Amino acid sequence: MISYKIIDLFAGIGGIRLGFEQAAHQLNIPIDCVFTSEIDKYCQITYQANFGSANIHGDITNIDPVDIPTHDILLAGFPCQPFSQASLKEGFADRRGTLFFNIEQILRTKKTKAFLLENVKHLKGHDKGRTFLVIIQTLKDLGYNVYHAVLNAKDFGLPQNRERLFIVGCLDKNTLFNFPTADNKPTSVADVLIDYVDKKYIISDKLWLGHQRRKLEHQQKGNGFGYRLFLKQSLYTNTLSARYYKDGSEILIDSGGKANPRKLTPRECARLQGFPDDFLIKVSDIQAYKKFGNSVPVNVINKLAYSILSSLII
C-alpha cells in the first residue's frame, strides 16, 4: 500500500497538516507526520492538543537539515510578515524572509518528492517581482517542476475573502500536477456563526463610537478604510488577520439594531478558516485570534493536498 511521510514546517496551529490528513483519509492513503517545527509556544500548545506532542521541535534555524527525518512531502507556511501588504515589506532583508532558504536547504539535502508552500499573495509583487523570481528559480534549480497560483478561500466553501499564494513542487518530472478548480459552493456568514454568544464579544460603546468616527474621517479623505459590518446573509467576510484581537474592525457582525456590533468568537474564527468544531482551542481568546488569523484556510489545503497526492500516485 502506498503511504507518505510528511514534515510540517512553520506549522502554526497545524492547518496545513490538517488539510493534508483530511485529503489522505479521503484517498485512503496512510500518512505519517515525522517532524514538526514551530517556534511560538502558544501555537505549540494548540498543535499538541490536536495532534499530540510527538516529533515537535522549535526554531528550524537551529536544526541541521541532515537531522531531519527522511520524508516524502514538505509542508511549509513560511513566515509572511516580510512580504505582507500590512508590513514594512522588507522581504529577504528581514530575518524571517531568509527562512525560505532553510526550506531550500532541507529540499536540497533530503531530495523531498514534493512540497507545498504557502504565503501571502503580495509575495509575487515584492521588490517588483524579484523576490518571487529568486524563490521560483531556486526551487527549479533543485530539480523541481514548480507550479504556483493564488487561491481564494471564498471559492472553496468558506465565507471569507482570503487570497493566498500556493507554490507546489514535484521532483519527478513525469508527475503532472494541476491546481484544484473552484467549487463555487454557495456560502454565507451564517455558516460560521454561533446561535448564542457571550456578551463579552459585543464591542463597547466607546469602541463602537471610535470605529464610526474613524470611518467617517476616512470617508472625508476619500478612502474606504474603517470598520466593516457583515450580516448573516453576507456571502463572505473580509480576510481574518492576526490583529483581529485588537478591535475586530475588519469583521464586525451586525446585531440588527438590538445592540452594538460584535466580534467573532474564537470558535467562529476557527470555522471561518475551515477548522472543524472538534478542533481544540486551549489558549486565551487573544492568542486564539492571533493564531487563527495567521493560519490557513483548511478547505483550500484539503483540495490542494488531494490534487498533490492524486498526482503522486498516478
Looking at the chain, which residues constitute the CATH 3.40.50.150 domain(s)? 4-185+292-313
Torsion-angle region of 88 (φ positive above 0: left; ψ -120 to 50: alpha; else: beta)? alpha
187: confidence class by pLDDT, cuts 50, 70, 90: very high
* pLDDT tens-digit map of 99-158: 888 999 999 999 999 999 999 998 888 778 888 888 999 999 999 999 999 999 999 999
**pLDDT-based confidence at residue 92 (cuts at 50, 70, 90):** very low
End-to-end CA distance of the chain: 14
Catalytic one among 33, 43, 80, 269?
Answer: 80
pLDDT grade, residue 314 (50/70/90)? Answer: low
Angle of CA points 265, 164, 307, to nearest 5°: 105
- Taking 50 as the threshold, does the pLDDT of residue 83 lie above it? no
| Residue in this structure with the C-alpha cell 528550524, named with its chain if needed | 60
Q: Which of 75, 12, 9 is nearest to 40 (CA)?
A: 12
Q: How far is CA 117 from the centre of its chain?
A: 10
**Nearest alpha-carbon partner for 293 in 84, 99, 124:** 84
Q: What is the pLDDT of residues 204-219, one digit of tens each?
A: 999 999 999 998 888 8
User: 4-185+292-313 has which fold?
Assistant: Rossmann fold (3.40.50)
Question: Quick check: 31 pLDDT over 70?
Answer: yes
- Residues 101 and 39: their CA atoms lie apart, in Å, by 17
Topology adopted by domain 189-279: DNA Methylase; Chain A, domain 2 (3.90.120)
Delimit the CATH 3.90.120.10 region(s) of the chain.
189-279
**34-48, 89-103, 137-151, 253-267: segment of lowest average pLDDT:** 89-103
Cβ–Cβ under 8 Å, residues 249 and 227: yes
Residue with cell 455558516: 191
Predicted local confidence at residue 94, as pLDDT = 44
| 89: pLDDT strictly greater than 70 | no
* Mean pLDDT estimate for the chain: 91
Cell of 142: 533543485
Rounded-to-integer distance, Cα 106 and Cα 37, Å: 13
Confidence of residue 80 (pLDDT cuts 50, 70, 90): low
**Residue 80: active-site member:** yes
| Grid cell for residue 197 | 454568544
